[in-house]
Structure 1
Amino acid sequence: MTTAPTKQEYRLQNLSCASCAAKFEKNVKAIPEVQDAQVNFGASKITVIGKVDVNQIEEAGAFDGIKVSQSPKSTIEKSTPFYKKTENILAGIALLFVILGYVLVTMRGETDPFAIGMFIVAILVGGVGIFKTGFRNLARFEFDMKTLMTIAVIGAAIIGEWEEAAVVVFLFAVSEALEAYSMDKARQSIRQLMDIAPSTATIKRAHGEHFHEMEVPTEEIEIGDILIVKPGQKIAMDGIVVSGLSAVNQAAITGESIPVNKTIDDEVFAGTLNEEGALEVRVTKRVEDTTIAKIIHLVEEAQAEKAPSQQFVDRFAKYYTPAIMIVALLVAVIPPLFIGDWQHWIYQGLAVLVVGCPCALVVSTPVAIVTAIGNAARQGVLIKGGIHLEQLGHIEAVAFDKTGTLTKGKPEVTDIYTQSNMSEDTVLQLVAAVEKQSQHPLAKAILTALHEKGLAEFEPTNFQSVTGKGAFATVEGKKVSVGSLKWISTLTSVDEVIKEQVDQLQAQGKTVVAAVSDTQLIGIIGIADQLRKESKSVLQNLTALKVKHTVMLTGDAKLTAEAIATSLNMSDVRAGLLPAEKLTAIKELRMQYGAVAMVGDGVNDAPALASASVGIAMGGAGTDAALETADIALMGDDLTKLPYTIGLSRKTLRIIQENIIFALALKLIALLLVIPGWLTLWIAIFADMGATLLVVFNSLRLITTKKYS
């Protein structure tokens, strides 16, 4: 019997650039014991299949100073502060020698051996890491930025351009440091997610007949343990409240800004903040299975999945680098064959090498995707891949399920009409007393209305259910019957006024319950699944975002669906649909509009969600089906996050396009300076560094996106 190969995740530090990540992955795959490896640049981790240790992996990343740790899934290595990194300290020392060199040039002239000596020291100190990698790459015929820089600096030194060689080395070190800092900033979104849940917790565990309190790491907490959560503490594990009452701030998981009241039998999530009372929580999931752990895993996997624009850029960069090297060679050789001045044109060729580096282009897409997905996660929206983020930006139509999406998903009492001079409250009390024993969903709506009004409960006796019609019981000494009007009409006469009221309620899509006390009709109650208060504004915001069409797809009755659609000003409503018919409707919409999003509950709407260009599930927190079936999950069951997410995706697309234009335009402008022979190594490095920083800082604008735009 063969055992499955070992699969292990490792956290990475000092993973500085996308091309370095690709090279690191290639090196790890070359280790004999490794069957496969995948680097996730955005999340700064690597997944390795095979039996290897940390030292072997670190050796594969030695060219970039990559540090590897096999840390638990719930934690992440803290990054080294900017000013403590060795390469940044060396860059600072190199700058000191460059300044000393320029001082000596000013005092003694450019040919002064001491001045040249200062520049050489600056080159050696600032470029030690660059040259190590560059020479190793040259030996293997691998060409990345450090290889190009090594060739350029050596070439500049050979033709006596010591000053520029030293300045270029320093500026390149600064560029690398700023790029690493910016990527670290983008990755903080994941780091913040990982820091949400505490690493230890106080639990109550049974020992024989007694319970003992103890503080343990979350990895050691078992299902069934009782978690003790004091006011002001974060909840460490997912579970069910077994004792206590408190308000819990769930913003970290669901994006809800208002705390949610929790009492016995309510579900709570790891990483949420207990605000007021003390709670005891029975743990229902292990630390690696909690909702926050799943979110972190899915966010990291989302960043590993390449968006279409990133795939295009990667393919483009693959051919772009060799093309630039050929151009540089031609610039260095062709002009001097005709007009002489070899030194000048070799210098121009070296500058072309530097300016042609594809760093900015390669980083243009991943940094935007990483930042956007991290931002969305903090806002309670889980996007499961760059491809879905990008696709959402192209959406032309949005299809909504009705129940639980546009509506609250639970029936509520909306109207009470009375007869026989009986008050609304008394009718509600009598009907609730009968419904107290019923399992019907409408019964819960009536009891909820009674409790919301703070009315006393009457106790029923002799309760009996009449299948398909209603129920009756003795309440306050009278036989009270509750059910459909058709059945109630067989027990007593119903006047025309009541019949008209019933017709009006049914025309509004409401279900009507009638009640009789002995043989006297006492009233009717209208019940409906209420519209979410935000539904109308969400549809208006989608129109403002240039979404061409919105449609309701529901399995509910036509009358009910049309009543909801009318209140929302929706012209396209398709009712009475089975899951297979919803699927057909989505296919028709895709043929008509191209990219279509479907918003549903993630369970009943699974076929339609899967068929849509982007499937969006409501209420992902604690709902495994929603997390697994949808491309995007609105964790807090908050429909207002839909326009925000579409706005974020469109802003991300816009920024990616800007990034690619920035990266290529700056390079092109710098390369055009070759024609009059004005391109210098300084301009080359500034063009490369400028393009990279423009791209990164432009992408970081996505961190601040909080509403639809």
Structure 2
Amino acid sequence: MATDTVEHGNGVSAPSGSAAGGVTLEIGGMTCATCALSIEKTLKQQPGVTKAQVNLALERADIRFDAGQVALPELMHAVTQLGYTVRHDTVTLWVPGIDEEPLRQRVESMLEVLDGVANVRANMTTGSVTVDLVRGVGRLDAVQAALRQGGFDAEVAPAVPSSDPRRAELARARRNFGMALIFTLPVWVAMVHTLLGIGPTWLAMPIVVALSATVVQWGPGMSFTRRAWMNLRHRNANMDVLVALGTLAAWGLSVYDWGVGGPLYFDVSATVITLIILGKYFEALAKGRTGAAIAELLALQPHEARRRTPVGDWETVATDSVQAGDQIQVRAGDRIPVDGEVVEGIGAVDKAMLTGEPMPQEKHPGSTVSAGTVNGSTTLIIEATRVGHDTTLAHIVRTVEEAQATKAPVQRFADRVASVFVPIVMGIALITLGAWGLGTGDWRHAILAAVAVLVVACPCALGLATPTAVMVGSGVGAKRGILYRSGEALEKVSGVTLVAMDKTGTLTAGRPRVQAMRAAEDVADAEVLGWAAALEQESSHPLARAIVGATTEQGVRVPPAEDVYTEAGQGVVGTVNGAEVLVGNAALLHAYGVSLPPDPEETWTRWQQEGATVVWVARDGQWVGTLAVADFVRDDAVDLIQALHRRKIQVAMLTGDQTPTAEAVGHKLGVDRIFAELMPQDKARVIEQLRHEGYHVLMVGDGINDAPALVAADVGMAVGSGTDVAIEAADITLMAPEISGILRALTVGKKTLGKIRQNLFWAMIYNVILIPLAALGFLSPMIAGAAMAFSSVSVVTNSLLLRGMRLPTSEAQISQPAGQHV
């Protein structure tokens, strides 16, 4: 219910900040959380590095550094020295004219100095240049621009970029598993023959078993040993160290026993390696699905566009070659390739894939359209305004990528555990070895128990628990028109207890309209409206636009006006057809000696109580009419507030309007608290006050004046129809104008945080239960290996369940002109 609390604000200064330069590198070869932490640790030790954050699920490193103290190649070298790779794309460009050695050297020297260019190879024979571009840093368009600037043919044709490294790694894992399985099968057959007496006898021969297990250990299993050695050299310990120590211990014990005629455990090392490689393969498959949202967004932009030539024909070109100012033909049913403005044609455009809006929007000359949206039933000609990295679609992709690359605060717990996890497990394994060996004298059993401890432990699940859930949650939000700027925003929005909302443009449509009119006797309504519009037609004030808009809707002719000037805080004065006309508030008429008429049936009072602005019109010193100009409550505002109340979330309304208008709107909507007559800095002060009272505040706004409050809130949310300033200041952006998206944003945040907590619980409980069981001798190394292999798979699969979450829907369309007036 609405409250009687109405508060006013005073100004305070807002803090300022600065950002450091940086880069995001794609890292290959990470297997667990400790891998990510070791890379972070090494990068932070480099001079000039102020921030290093590595995301295991995305396989990326976000680095902020001072380029004056450390260069990018040095950072890349620090990563590769640990045994990991910095991914790059290899592209080939055809550059005619490099048939001489000086020209070849010139091309290479020009390109080698570009950011993100790792290597350049120019071939005089073929007239081609092959460039290795660091993923996330190097840009093909920068290479092309450098070549054009150097005087080489600008019409370069890049080859298809090299295959996706993730797919290459997936294929490599598949090959490794195939090889491991082929050579582990004889070991399994020998084990069955030994236990049950069935199967070919020759496969049970020790030499066959030993050779098969050795191929697995030093073939597919060599990747674990190599990465373990590289990490240990740098005093890091990760999952590879556990696997390598465990399998090498089992293999080494078997080699020794083979020499002295003791029992063999080759089945342990071979089986553990094979199962872990299988688990990594399944994990890679599942991780690929968590990042599917980015691929689906990128797939929205067509690769080709139909561009108008200088002679007026249409040519099919690559979308990347379209420049701002080019005219593009978009036929019915085609996706729009770039952001632009319609110059010819009228039709409907489906924006559901970008904003979640279910209904197509009508477009006509002058309307803006976005890349990735679908044209309806007629051909449109658009003029490109934003292309490439500047389109709305590209902005959405970057925002989702940034959100997925950041760590949610809850991840800090997992990081602290992972940083000490491997050393603790190694300590437990040593204790297990000593306890069993000294206590029973059976050192073979002691070694197998210690191997089981090493193998069953899995820090991967801890490392994947948070980022995979954030990836899926942010992806689900993006497909419904909700952009989360960070994983922290996803986590924080789940705990909101109060939603503070700007009034104009958020709770109301922000487009005032003339709602009612009363004219003096012998004066027509159309005359009053025409005289008022004559003075207001050059003004950009919302009330002025409402009055001028009413003449268009009603077909009223607007006479010309002369000598128009503004009386500050009161209204405007001018001459229309030789008569002096006043348009403004009651104070303006009093100042010019015009008497106000009596209030028939308390009409003026009722208009003001309903939240309308009363505009008085006088002509030649006599009152001729009064207009009621009011904004509309958005169609979904009341339903939204009721839904928030059902979730036990309070609602506050913040506005710069006068108290009577604010109260009228607030009581109509049913908000809990009303703050009126606020300057932009006052809104930020109110947010701080609400937070001090113990509320976890979500601020929703759409204008420049909302930016300080968006920053001051626990979570800031900008409505997509708002200004760029508001969107940049917000943690969450609703791409669609309907504010019912607030409910969807809250739902995604709550369910994502719930899934993160589930993942962390299962990751922890898995180790809490299985490590002691292994230490007590209840788990064989093979069972431990199987459990370890599938623990991280289960966490990733659990995160993928978020893709099926049900979100609140709303049929209300804000774009419809109908609604309640304030």
TM-score w.r.t. the length of structure 2 is 0.75
Residue 433 of structure 2 is matched in structure 1 by 332
Q: Which moved more, 1:110-119 or 1:358-367?
A: 110-119
| Contact residue 407 and residue 531 of structure 1 kept, 8 A | yes
Distance 1:432 1:354 in 2: 83
Q: Which moved more, 1:96-105 or 1:642-651?
A: 96-105
Sort the Cα spacing of 1:485 and 1:134 in 2 relative to 1 into closer, same or farther, 3 A: closer
Amino acid in the other structure paired with 2:349: V
The answer as to 2:545 corresponding to 1:444 is: yes
Distance 2:573 2:581 in 1: 9
Residue 813 of structure 2 is matched in structure 1 by none
Sort the Cα spacing of 1:678 and 1:47 in 2 relative to 1 into closer, same or farther, 3 A: closer
The answer as to 2:786 corresponding to 1:686 is: yes
Q: Which moved more, 1:560-569 or 1:276-285?
A: 276-285
| Contact residue 718 and residue 730 of structure 2 kept, 8 A | yes
| Contact residue 12 and residue 67 of structure 1 kept, 8 A | yes
Q: Give structure 1 stretches of 5+ with no counterpart.
A: none
Task: Give 2:273's match in structure 1, choosing from 155, 160, 169.
Answer: 169
Task: Give 1:112's match in structure 2, choosing from 190, 195, 205.
Answer: 205
Q: Which moved more, 1:180-189 or 1:37-46?
A: 37-46
The answer as to 2:261 corresponding to 1:134 is: no
Distance 2:74 2:472 in 1: 29
| Contact residue 398 and residue 551 of structure 1 kept, 8 A | yes
Residue 172 of structure 2 is matched in structure 1 by 86
Residue 348 of structure 1 is matched in structure 2 by 449
1:445 Cα shift? 2.3
Task: Give 1:650's match in structure 2, choosing from 727, 734, 750.
Answer: 750
| Contact residue 33 and residue 418 of structure 2 kept, 8 A | no
| Contact residue 620 and residue 627 of structure 1 kept, 8 A | no
Amino acid in the other structure paired with 1:316: V
| Aligned ranges 1:594-633 → 2 under 5 Å | 594-619=695-720, 623-633=723-733
Distance 2:462 2:551 in 1: 63
Cα RMSD (Å): 3.9
Distance 2:248 2:789 in 1: 20
Amino acid in the other structure paired with 2:205: D
The answer as to 2:201 corresponding to 1:99 is: no
1:639 Cα shift? 1.1
The answer as to 2:292 corresponding to 1:188 is: yes
1:529 Cα shift? 1.2
Amino acid in the other structure paired with 1:94: A
The answer as to 2:689 corresponding to 1:585 is: no
| Aligned ranges 1:173-572 → 2 under 5 Å | 173-204=277-308, 213-416=314-517, 430=530, 434=534, 437-439=537-539, 440-449=541-550, 451=552, 455-461=554-560, 465=564, 467=566, 468-469=570-571, 484=585, 494-497=597-600, 500-513=602-615, 524-547=626-649, 549-572=650-673
Distance 1:213 1:241 in 2: 17
1:307 Cα shift? 1.9
1:397 Cα shift? 1.8
Cα displacement string for residues 111-169 of structure 1 (whole angstroms, at most 9, x for unaligned residues): 63235544444445542322332344455553211221111112222152222322211
Q: Which moved more, 1:565-574 or 1:509-518?
A: 509-518
| Contact residue 276 and residue 785 of structure 2 kept, 8 A | yes
Sort the Cα spacing of 1:215 and 1:24 in 2 relative to 1 into closer, same or farther, 3 A: farther
SS at match of 1:364: helix
Distance 2:571 2:53 in 1: 62
Task: Give 2:80's match in structure 1, choosing from 60, 64, 83.
Answer: 60
Sort the Cα spacing of 1:99 and 1:602 in 2 relative to 1 into closer, same or farther, 3 A: farther
Sort the Cα spacing of 1:363 and 1:560 in 2 relative to 1 into closer, same or farther, 3 A: same
1:195 Cα shift? 2.8
Q: Which moved more, 1:641-650 or 1:119-128?
A: 119-128
Q: Which moved more, 1:169-178 or 1:49-58?
A: 49-58
Sort the Cα spacing of 1:584 and 1:614 in 2 relative to 1 into closer, same or farther, 3 A: same
| Contact residue 357 and residue 736 of structure 2 kept, 8 A | yes
Amino acid in the other structure paired with 1:163: D
Amino acid in the other structure paired with 1:497: P
Distance 2:447 2:331 in 1: 71
1:662 Cα shift? 0.3
Sort the Cα spacing of 1:409 and 1:595 in 2 relative to 1 into closer, same or farther, 3 A: same
Residue 149 of structure 1 is matched in structure 2 by 243
Distance 1:701 1:524 in 2: 59
Amino acid in the other structure paired with 1:656: I
Q: Which moved more, 1:609-618 or 1:461-470?
A: 461-470
Q: Which moved more, 1:652-661 or 1:677-686?
A: 677-686
1:693 Cα shift? 2.1
| Contact residue 456 and residue 774 of structure 2 kept, 8 A | no
Distance 1:664 1:275 in 2: 52
Residue 659 of structure 1 is matched in structure 2 by 759
Distance 1:507 1:180 in 2: 62
1:485 Cα shift? 6.2
Amino acid in the other structure paired with 1:528: A
Q: Which moved more, 1:509-518 or 1:127-136?
A: 509-518
Distance 1:73 1:398 in 2: 44
SS at match of 1:669: helix
1:575 Cα shift? 0.5
1:40 Cα shift? 4.9
SS at match of 1:88: helix
Amino acid in the other structure paired with 1:354: V
SS at match of 1:408: coil
Sort the Cα spacing of 1:708 and 1:348 in 2 relative to 1 into closer, same or farther, 3 A: farther
Amino acid in the other structure paired with 2:171: K
Distance 1:607 1:484 in 2: 31
Task: Give 2:734's match in structure 1, choosing from 634, 639, 643.
Answer: 634
Distance 1:509 1:86 in 2: 68
Cα displacement string for residues 374-407 of structure 1 (whole angstroms, at most 9, x for unaligned residues): 2222222221111222222222222111111111
SS at match of 1:512: strand
1:328 Cα shift? 0.7
Distance 1:10 1:473 in 2: 66
Q: Which moved more, 1:354-363 or 1:301-310?
A: 301-310
| Contact residue 701 and residue 726 of structure 2 kept, 8 A | no
1:601 Cα shift? 1.7
| Contact residue 20 and residue 64 of structure 1 kept, 8 A | no
Cα displacement string for residues 535-565 of structure 1 (whole angstroms, at most 9, x for unaligned residues): 1222222223332x32111111111111111
1:576 Cα shift? 0.6
Distance 2:351 2:364 in 1: 15
Sort the Cα spacing of 1:310 and 1:496 in 2 relative to 1 into closer, same or farther, 3 A: closer
1:90 Cα shift? 2.4
Amino acid in the other structure paired with 2:222: V
SS at match of 1:353: helix
Distance 2:576 2:422 in 1: 87
Distance 1:211 1:397 in 2: 57
Report how many aligned residue pairs link the two structures.
695
Cα displacement string for residues 37-87 of structure 1 (whole angstroms, at most 9, x for unaligned residues): 765545444567676679977992895677432264899964665997022
Distance 1:101 1:446 in 2: 87
Cα displacement string for residues 180-202 of structure 1 (whole angstroms, at most 9, x for unaligned residues): 22221112222222333234433
Q: Give structure 2 stretches of 5+ with no counterpart.
A: 1-19, 90-132, 142-160, 198-203, 255-263, 810-822
SS at match of 2:743: helix
Q: Which moved more, 1:362-371 or 1:71-80?
A: 71-80
Amino acid in the other structure paired with 2:249: G
SS at match of 2:499: strand
Residue 695 of structure 1 is matched in structure 2 by 795
Distance 2:548 2:386 in 1: 33
TM-score w.r.t. the length of structure 1 is 0.86
